[in-house]
Amino acid sequence: MNKKIDIGKLEKRNPYIVPEDYFLALTPNIMDKVDTPEKRHIFSTFQLQTLAPTFAILLIVFSAVWYNNQNPNITDDDLVELLTFYDLEDELLLEFVELKQEEIIDDDLLNEFNYNELIYEL
């Protein structure tokens, strides 16, 4: 079953036939069939596909920042009036007023006392 094949005894014939000068003409034939690239423009298609969404996102971000930086100058009284207009519960209004009072008290305490001195004294 295990026969050794002597390669030297096999026929030396090539079953394939190649036309004369085939390989010399192969490269020019392939290059003729390949499309030559067009001249590059300042804005190629790839650049436009990436730049357009980028500018759109930047426009959205800048407009959102600009819109959020608008100062409507709403006072606390205006806010309370607005909340009562929408018929909110008294508990929510009371909570808002209490939070505002706590903020005012905290600000007053921060302005009145030097906490470094108090900590030093303790």
Q: What is the pLDDT of residues 62-96, one digit of tens each?
A: 988 888 777 677 787 887 787 777 766 777 778 88
Asked whether residue 3 is domain-assigned, the answer is: no
| Domain boundaries, position 69 | 45-121
User: Is 83 within 8 Å of 93 (Cβ atoms)?
Assistant: yes
Q: What is the pLDDT of residues 25-64, one digit of tens each?
A: 888 888 888 877 666 666 666 677 788 888 999 999 998 8
Residue 111 has pLDDT above 60, yes or no: yes
Asked whether residue 93 is domain-assigned, the answer is: yes
**Angle, CA 71 vertex, CA 63 and CA 65 arms, to 5°:** 20
Q: Tally the domains of the chain.
A: 1
- In this prediction, residue 8 carries a pLDDT of 79
